[in-house]
Structure 1
Amino acid sequence: MPGLLLVSPSIVAIGLFVYGLIFWNTRVAVSGKHDEVSPLGFDGGKNFVDLWDQPSWPGAVRNALVFTAVFVLGALLLGAFLAFLMDKGIRGEASFRVVYLFPMAVSFIAAGVVWRWLLNPAPADRAVGLNQLFHDAGLGSLANTWWQHPDWGMAAMALPAIWQMSGYVMALYLAGFRGVPEELREAARVDGASEWKVYRHVVFPQLRPVTLSALIILGHISLKVFDLIMAIAGKQIITYVPAVAAYVEIFDRHDPANGATIATYLLVAVAVLVVPYLVWTIRSERAR
C-alpha cells in the first residue's frame, strides 16, 4: 500500500496528460469541429477519408516516407561503421566517442538553426554555408538548392538528423560489439577464419537485436519529426511532413478536427512500429 501511494501521483499524471489527451484527441478527430466555434458532434471516420483529398496531405506522407528511409538507413550505416572502427581499437577512442556522441546532446531546434545556415540554398553571389565552401574550393558544380530541391529536398533534410543520431546508433552498436564473447571470436580464428569472416559470421549475426532496437528508435523519431523541419524550412509545402501539417491545421487554419486526425494517424503509425517490438521484448525476457 505505501508503494501504491508513492507512485499514485505519477499514475494520475500519466492517466490525465497521456491517455486522457489521447482520448480527447481521438474524440476531436471523429468530430465535425472544423473551426473554433462549432460543437464537437460526431462524423465517424469521415475526417480520416477526407484528409486524403487535401492536396498537401499525400505529399506530406510521401515526404515523411522519404525522410524516414534516408534518415534510418543513413544513421544505421554511419553508426555501425563508426562502431566498427571503435571496436577495432583505434587510438584516442574515448575522445572519438565524446565527439561522435556530442551531436545527440544538441536539441533538434539548435541543430536545425545551424544546419539551416549550412544548407542555405542561396545562389553563388549570395552563397553561405556548404554552397560557399564549394565555391571557395572551386567545386561550384556541387552547390545546389538542398532542401528546396523538388526531387530530393527531403533527402537533404535528413542530413542533419543523420548527423545528430548516428552517434547514438554508434553507442548501441559498440555495446553490441563489446558484448560478443571473445571466446566466440577466438574459436573462429582457431578454425582459420579471417578477421572479416569473424565479423561476418560471428559478430554481425549477434547484432540483430541491436539493429532492431535502432530501427524502432530511429523509425519513431522520423515519423514524428517536427522541430528539425520547422527550424530549417519552416512551413514550406515542399518539406511538409505530417507533424508540420497537424501544426498548420490547428494553429494556422484553426481546424481542430483535421489536426487531431493527422495526430491520430501519427499515433497509429508509431504504435504499429513500437507495440510489436515491445511484445517481442517482453516475450524474450520471459523466455530467459
Structure 2
Amino acid sequence: MPGPVMPDQAIGTSMRNKDRISAFLTLLPSIILIGIFVYGFIGNTFWISLSDWGGAAALAENPVKSYVGFANYLDLFTGFLGGGFRQDLVNAVFYSVMLLAGAIGIGLILAMLLDNKPRGESFFRTVFLYPMSLSFIVTGTIWRWMLAPQGGVNILPTYVGLPPLRFPWLSSTDAILLFNWQNLLPIALYLVSLVLIIWGLWRLKNNPAKALVLLIPGVVVGGSVWLWGDLLPQALFMEEIHGFNTATFGIIMATIWQYSGYTMALYLAGFTGISQDLRDAAMLDGASTAKYYRYIALPMVKPITISAIIILSHISLKMFDLIFAMTGPDNGQTGHPALNMYLTTFRANDFARGAAIAIILFIIAATFIIPYMISSYRQRRSR
C-alpha cells in the first residue's frame, strides 16, 4: 500500500497542474482560430473540389453545387482539357529539382568557403545573404530586366568584343527530357524503383540487411515494369508530350540566386557549431580540408540538409509571384500549378477545379513536411 503523499509533493503536483491548465487556456484561442481558419478552410476547399461549382452561374447569389466525387481530379490528370495543368505539374517538378540542386549546392560551397574565415568574410556573408531579403516580386522584376532579349545577360559578351547572345531566356519554346504522359504509370514505377535501389545502395555498407529490404523490391519493380510495362493502363487515350521547357531556365536562375544565400547561412551556422578542437584533431591526423568536410562536417550537418530540402521544396510550390512578375500569367511554357490555380479559380470562375488544384498542391507539400515532422518528433522523444 503506497504511503501518504507528502505535503510538499502535493503542492508541487497542484502547481504543475495549474501551470498546464494555464498554458492550455492561453493556447486555446490560437488552437480554435487555427482549427477554423486553417484546417477548417482546408476541409472546405476539399469539399468544394468534390463538387461542380463553376461556370457561368458560379457567382450567383445561391449557386447550385452538385457532388461529383473525384471527377475534377480525374479530369486534371487524364482529361482532354487538362494538358495545361499537366505541363504545369511537370514544370513544378523541374523547378523543385533544379532549385534544390542549385541552391543547396551553391549555398554549401559558399558556406565552406566562408567557414575558412577568408578576408572580408562579414562583407561577403552580407552580400550573399542580401537577396533573401527581397520579395519574389522584386526579384522577378530585376531578373526580367536582366534576361530581356535585347539587353541584360545577352549583351554581356559585347563588352569583350564578342557577338551578343540570342537565347530567349523567358520565351523559348524548346523543350528537353520529353516523355509521353500516356506512359505516366510506367515512368512513375521506374522512378520508385530507382529511388529504392539508390537508397538501398546508400545503406548497403552500414546496414546490409535493411539495404536488401530496399534493393530487392526496387529490382523487382523495375524488372516487372521492363518486362510487362506494356500491360499497364495508359493515363490518356492519346499521345501527349511533355518535357522541361528551356524558358524556365531564367526563373530557376532567379530562384537559386535568391535562396543560395539562405542555404549558405544554414550551413554556415552548422559549421560554426562544430568544435574547433574536432577540426584541429582531424588536421593533426592528416585529413585535408576536403576530407574534413566530407567525412566529419557534412555528416554532422545532415539535419540542416534535410531542413533545407524541406523548406526549399515547400518554396518551390509557392512560386506564383515570381513567375507572374517574370513572364506574366499567360505564358504556358513557364506555368506552375499555383498560377494555374489562380487563373482557373478567378479568371475562369471554375472554383471546384481550382480547389482540386489547391488540394493537389497541399498533398505534394505534405509529402515533404509530414515525414520530416514525424522524424523530428521521434528524435525528440528518443532524447
Answer whether contact 1:134 1:143 (CA < 8 A) is retained.
Answer: no
Larger relative helix fraction: 1
Structure 2 residue corresponding to 1:223, chosen from 296, 302, 317: 317
Q: Contact 1:70–1:155 (CA<8 Å) still a contact in 2?
A: no
| Structure 1 residues 107-126: aligned runs within 5 Å | 107-121=135-149
Equivalent pair of 1:115/1:160 in contact (CA under 8 Å): yes
- Structure 2 distance, partners of 1:246, 1:174, is 37
Cα deviation per residue 1:128-174 (whole Å; 9 max; x = unaligned)? 22223334443435341002222311132111111111111001000
Equivalent residue, structure 1, for 2:371: 276
SS in structure 2 opposite 1:142?
coil
Contact 2:320–2:339 under 8 Å retained in 1: yes
Q: Structure 2 matches for 1:131-280, cutoff 5 A?
A: 131-140=154-163, 142-150=165-173, 151=175, 152-235=246-329, 236-280=331-375
Does structure 2 retain, via aligned residues, the 8 Å contact 1:224–1:266?
Answer: no
Q: CA RMSD in A?
A: 1.6
Q: Distance in 2 between matches of 1:245 and 1:209?
A: 34
Contact 1:130 1:143 in 2 (8 A): no
2:151 corresponds in structure 1 to: 128
Q: CA deviation at 1:55?
A: 1.9
Deviation at 1:7, TM superposition (A): 2.9
Aligned equivalents of 2:28 and 2:166: distance in 1?
A: 57
Structure 2 match to 1:124: none
- Write the distance in 2 (CA, Å) between the matches of 1:30 and 1:134: 54
| Counterpart for residue 51 of structure 1 | 76
Q: How far apart, in 1, do the equivalents of 2:302 and 2:25 lie? A: 40
Alpha-carbon displacement from aligned partner over 1:51-84 (angstroms, at most 9, x marks no partner): 1221201110111111111111100111001101
Partner Cα separation in structure 1 for residue 34 and residue 157 of structure 2: 50
- Which residue of the partner structure matches residue 49 of structure 2? 29
SS of equivalent residue, structure 2 residue 301: helix
What is the aligned partner in structure 1 of residue 122 from structure 2?
Answer: 94
What is the distance in 2 between the residues matched to 1:132 and 1:195?
39
Q: What letter matches 1:132 in structure 2?
A: I
- State the 1:200 CA deviation: 1.8
CA deviation profile, 1:91-123 (whole Å, cap 9, x unmatched)? 1211211111111111111111111111113xx
Query: Does the 8 A contact of 2:147 with 2:169 survive in 1?
Result: yes
Provide the TM-score with structure 1 as the length reference.
Answer: 0.93
For 1:2 and 1:205, how far apart are their aligned partners in 2? 41
- Residue 140 of structure 1 aligns to which amino acid in structure 2? P
> 2:380: which partner in 1?
285
- Is contact 2:147–2:170 with CA below 8 Å preserved after alignment? yes
> How far apart, in 1, do the equivalents of 2:152 and 2:339 lie?
25
Do the aligned partners of 1:135 and 1:143 also contact (CA within 8 Å) in 2?
no
Q: Which amino acid aligns with 1:215?
A: I
CA distance in 2, matches of 1:139, 1:178: 44
> 5+ unaligned residues in a row in structure 1: which ranges?
122-126
How many pairs are equivalent? 283
Alignment partner of 2:105 out of 77, 87, 111: 77
SS of the residue corresponding to residue 147 of structure 1 reads coil
Consecutive aligned runs of 4 or more in structure 1 exceeding 6 Å deviation: none
Letter in 1 for 2:131: P
- What is the rounded CA distance, in whole Å, between the counterparts of 1:147 and 1:205 in structure 2? 38
More displaced 10-residue stretch of structure 1: 221-230 or 141-150: 141-150
Deviates more, 1:261-270 or 1:99-108: 99-108
Aligned-partner Cα distance in 1 for 2:293–2:362: 38
Indicate the SS of the match to 2:65: coil
Write the letter of the residue equivalent to 2:369: V
